[in-house]
Amino acid sequence: MARNHSQHGERTGGGYERIGERVSIFVNGRIWYCNWQEGPKQQRKSLRTRNHEVARQKARALEAELSGAVPRQAGTFDIAAAVQAYIDWQDSNDRAPKTMVKYRDVLTRFAAHCRDAGVRLMHAITVQTIDEFTVLRRRRRDGMAAKRSTPS
């Protein structure tokens, strides 16, 4: 007896049902999952439902989020706190002392630049903020030694 494929969510094309431009859904066992490409990596996430309609609904919401129609939920982390947390995490991973000096120096200067530019939260950092910091570093050479030329 032939199995009713639509009951189990399987569609032609490997069992995936396309939802929008980027997201596909599929069933694994009895649970629905979604699948999409983000940059060079394939992402897969459980939709935590057995209901096909609920899975479609959740996948449409994800599709809207990925396409930019709905802004992604950005963390409201303070930049200074994030810098300190990153430095603490690197410290706990036994980085070399010289590496830690470099990390602390650059990241604290970046946090100061963001504070001076009026950017306080991580999600408010833009490409423009980073570009301004890069230009500032090149212009001032902030405490960096002059480059030595190697003899040819």
pLDDT at res. 102:
92
pLDDT at res. 140:
72
pLDDT at res. 116:
92
State how far the Cα of 36 lies from the Cα of 47, in Å rounded to an integer: 13
Strand order in the sheet with 41-46: 17-19, 23-28, 31-38, 41-46
Overall pTM surpassing 0.85 (yes/no): no
With vertex at residue 136, the alpha carbon angle to CA 109 and CA 105, rounded to the nearest 5 degrees, is 20
State how far the Cα of 41 lies from the Cα of 30, in Å rounded to an integer: 25
Write out residues in the chain with pLDDT < 70, as ranges: 1-14, 69-75, 141-147, 149, 151-152
